[in-house]
Structure 1
Amino acid sequence: MKHWDFSPPPESQLGDREVPIEGEHLQGKRIALLITGGIAAIKAPLIARALRKEGADVVAFTSQEALRYTTIDALEWSTTRPVVTKLTAAAEHLSDSAPFDAYLVAPATYNTINKMRYGIADGVITSALASAIGRMERGRTKIAIAPTMHGSLHNSILTESLKTLEAMGVYIVPPREAYGKHNIPDEREIVVEVCRLVSTSPLKGVPILVTGGPTPVPIDNVRRLTNRFSGRLGAEITEELYLRDADVRLIHGEGTYQPPAYLPYQIVRTYDEYLASILETLSQKPYRFGIFSAAVADYKPELVLPGKTPSGGALKTINLVPTLKVIEEVRAKFPDLHMVTFKYQEGVSHEALMEIAQQRIKRGYRAIIANRGEEMGLGGEQIAYLVTADRPPQKMVGKKEIAKAIANYLEQVWHNNS
């Protein structure tokens, strides 16, 4: 058992109702959180705070049924705004004086979904949604709903209503399926979908391939050679692009780290599978950008042994041969792909690293992310430099900043070429 020494918590600069800001994708956005009468309403305060962590200003609307599962105090604490619980003379459901960028119905019950589809406006939630649909049809807002209900309630009426709403432009957040029910997704997953919905990034819908993680090479059926890189940066880059609603896909080498389930990714187990997957993926549609952050194996065993090699010294010597340079293969087969490649070095000066990056630029590569193992931030953060032919190297500290800088660079390139 763990033992607590009864000491007070460390001091924090955050006030009681403040949240740590984790992103800016909802900065300046007003979100109406509409809470209906399902048990999943107990998650509403957590959803509100998760939205605020991306910078959103959140106002909660609740039905009377919803207040059986959550409370006004909890929602006011989590949003820092008064909760709208009924239709009043102030006409909060119309939001004329302060319109919302998006309406999120979470949870969305069977009853509310079907009323929404048929235009019934008989309470604060359905009346707010009737107004929201009118705004959506004029291109002034977005609507997302997160259906949650017991599986037996998923009937042909619900299916027809969901299809109708989707055809109108309402985004349906896919539920988390478990125990015969449509369950509300994790708060972060809901927030990610809202970010994508309201994104105005130039990269919206642009096909982008990202690679990350190690690319192990097998020795026999159970042993392999790999490196220590986890692939977290590749996932961070993918998430940043996904939040901007790019059509992004991550090819991630198998290791100790697995990307968040809501990201579009596939796992590859070996270097050979990695190379084959990249070439196949790029041939499927016209990807505009490729970001190659994977720690690719430079060597592989000349011979892969069958089965499990017995212990006791049979593997004293392993002959290694060079692997194909993946970025060179890609560049030769897909010359129109705008590539962002990575260069990691140890035991060199900063000046030498920049020269190595510039040499790659001179060979025709568009952008290099260069870093040294010896250079880290005060908190041990990764430090890297974005090197291109047309501007001074840009210093980036930490994986989030690296991911954001790459996404900003791609936005600029896409804008300039559009």
Structure 2
Amino acid sequence: MLAGKRVTLIIGGGIAAYKCLDLIRQLRRAGAEVIPVITRAGTEFVTPLSVAALAGTQVYQNLFDLKDEAEMGHIQLSRAADLLVVAPATADMMAKMAGGHADDLATTLLLATDKPVLIAPAMNLRMWTHAATQRNLAQLRADGVAVVGPNSGDMACGEYGPGRMAEPDEILAAIAARLGTGPLAGKRVLVTSGPTHEPIDPVRYIANRSSGAQGTALAAALRDLGAEVVFVTGPATVPPPDGVHLHRVETAGEMLLAVEAALPVDAAVFAAAVADWRVENDVAQKIKKNAHALPEIKLSENPDILKTVCAHAKRPRLVVGFAAETENVIAHATAKRQRKGCDWIVANDVSPATGIMGGANNTVHLISEAGHEDWPSLPKQEVARRLAARIAEALA
């Protein structure tokens, strides 16, 4: 899928640099030509010889190498590829990029290039969450730098949390998406995510216990496969992904309007936990506690977004719903698929004991006309990647 593309891979100084050896292998298998650049710190983790052997070409290391300057100067090198990829992008490298430093070959190339840049951050979780790193990340995004990862997991230092570099297949997908060559390139996909908040009064509301993590991960996975993603999200507790068309909503009614405005799309995935009911008699002022009587709250049914889109004149080719159940998961979800008219249902058990709502993992069952598949417990990012791959197959 990357035939004829040239990728400059800048290998930074972190333990995750070893993953770049597999990334080079995957890039070449996908048809790309790899131009490897390694920092001085990067050579502490992988050798230039191993990188050169896998890339099939010389490795660039030094800014003031006269032979390289005579044959291909740093300006030419900065523009020789279709995309520059920094992996691992350490906290130091991100800081230098955000500040416009150019004190070695890698940073000089990044400052001199006129080509798109993708970074795969990797560092200790405290470094990743530090205010300085987050400021640098915001600046890089504002400068147009694309970001893949980091993931959460065990660290080489023994800690657990966000900061693990994305896996080579994730980086490969992000490269393909950035170059417009992924399996979903040219496809437009709608994803809904998060809860909805249905107001009771200005300070109280009805909602579901959804963080929006699964829908957000799915939008990112579809984006990484090259799709143009329209992301309609309620007030989730996780930040939205980069590189999507973001529409923030509060209520089910607002979500339906945003969804209909996004049509037509090739596929739609309804991962949002939409409140089934809204308050019919919501008021403009805060309801005061009354010692003699409880307030009367009248409920009415919210619009059924999934069913509406399934019956819509602009119905997508593929419509995927989600079913959060606490009992008889397969039976209830199968009935929901038939009742709504969607192609697939992604069902899971969200009983409190599972820890799925607000947790890092998910255990899902993919239900279609052909029956159901039981997936093992996986990180939500991996569930998203698997589902995105299945969507790509269905739309191929």
8 Å Cα contact 1:254-1:270 kept in structure 2: no
Shift of 1:218: 0.5
Is 1:346 the counterpart of 2:291? The answer is: no
Do 1:144 and 1:171's aligned partners in 2 also have CA atoms closer than 8 Å?
A: yes
Moved more, 215-224 or 385-394: 385-394
- The aligned residue for residue 8 of structure 1 is none
Q: What whole-Å deviation, never above 9, does each CA across 1:23-66 have from its counterpart, x for those lacking one?
A: xx99xx9975348xxxxxxxx325x837938952498625xxx7
The answer to whether the Cα contact below 8 Å between 2:344 and 2:367 also exists between their aligned partners in 1 is yes
Q: 1:326 aligned to 2:305?
A: yes
- Gapped regions of structure 1 (runs ≥ 5): 1-24, 36-43, 67-71, 85-91, 106-110, 113-120, 137-141, 154-161
How many Å apart are 1:144 and its aligned residue?
Answer: 2.5
1:316 and 2:295 are equivalent in the alignment: yes
- Code of the residue aligned with 2:343 in structure 1: it is R
Note closer, same or farther for the CA distance 1:210–1:125 as it changes in structure 2 (3 Å cut).
farther
TM-align CA RMSD = 4.9
Aligned to 1:300: 278
Cα deviations by residue, 1:231-275 (Å, 9 ceiling, x for unpaired)? 100011111112212111221110333334565533222222212
* Correspondent of 2:42 among 50, 71, 75: 75
SS of the residue corresponding to residue 393 of structure 1 reads strand
1:265 is paired with a residue of what secondary structure?
Answer: strand
Out of 84, 88, 101, which is 1:144 matched to? 84
User: How much has 1:411 moved relative to structure 2?
Assistant: 1.6
Aligned mate of 2:338, from 359, 362, 373: 359
| Cα pair 1:197 1:245 within 8 Å, conserved | no
Number of aligned residues: 323
Q: Corresponding residue for 1:122? A: 69
Q: Which amino acid aligns with 1:61?
A: V
The TM-score normalised by the length of structure 1 is 0.61
Contact 2:192 2:272 in 1 (8 A): yes
**Which residue of the partner structure matches residue 41 of structure 1?**
none
Distance 1:131 1:150 in 2: 18
Matches within 5 A, 1:372-391: 372-374=349-351, 376=354, 381-390=361-370
In structure 2, do the counterparts of structure 1 residues 328 and 77 end up closer, same or farther at CA, with 3 Å as the change threshold? Answer: same
What are structure 2's unaligned runs of at least 5 residues? 26-34, 87-95, 103-109, 120-135, 151-164
The alignment status of 1:371 with 2:348, answered yes or no, reads yes
Aligned to 1:171: 116
For residues 20 and 261 of structure 2, what CA distance do their matches in structure 1 show?
37
Q: Deviations over 1:138-158 (max 9, x none)?
A: xxxx422789476899xxxxx
SS of aligned partner of 1:387: strand
The one-letter code sitting in structure 2 at the alignment partner of 1:369 is: V
Alignment partner, residue 255 of structure 1: 236
* Separation in structure 2 between the aligned mates of residue 193 and residue 264 of structure 1, nearest angstrom: 21
Per-residue deviation, 1:279 = 1.4
> Which whole-Å deviations, capped at 9, do the CAs of 1:160-218 have from their partners, x for residues lacking one?
xx9x976xxx3255995659x96988774897786423355421231101111101101
Distance 1:393 1:266, change over 3 A: same
Equivalent AA in structure 2 for residue 254 of structure 1: P
Change (3 A) 1:150 1:347: closer
Structure 2 counterparts to residues 210-249 of structure 1, below 5 A: 210-249=191-230
Cα 1:194/1:51, change in 2 over 3 Å: farther
Q: Superposed, which structure 2 residues align to 1:50-61 within 5 Å? A: 52=19, 56-57=23-24, 61=37
Question: How far apart, CA to CA, are the structure 1 residues paired with 2:18 and 2:259?
Answer: 34
Q: Which residue of 2 aligns with 1:289?
A: 267
1:46-90 Cα offsets, whole Å, 9 max, x none, are 5x837938952498625xxx7xxxxx2x31234x23289xxxxxx
Shift in alpha-carbon separation, 1:266–1:77, aligned structure 2, 3 A: farther
CA distance in 2, matches of 1:346, 1:50: 43
Report if the CA contact (8 A) 1:221-1:305 is conserved: yes
Structure 2 CA distance, aligned partners of 1:54 and 1:204?
Answer: 26
Q: CA deviation at 1:373?
A: 2.9
Asked whether the equivalents of residues 177 and 183 of structure 1 are also in contact (C-alpha less than 8 Å), the reply is: no
CA distance in 2, matches of 1:34, 1:123: 21
Say which SS state the counterpart of residue 256 (structure 2) adopts: helix
Deviation at 1:130, TM superposition (A): 4.6
Corresponding residue for 1:33? 9
User: Is the 1:144–1:194 Cα contact (8 Å) retained in structure 2?
Assistant: no
Corresponding letter in the other structure for 2:37: F
Structure-2 separation of matches of 1:306 and 1:50: 57
Cα gap change, 1:355/1:198 in structure 2, threshold over 3 Å: closer, same or farther? closer
- Give 2:127's aligned residue: none
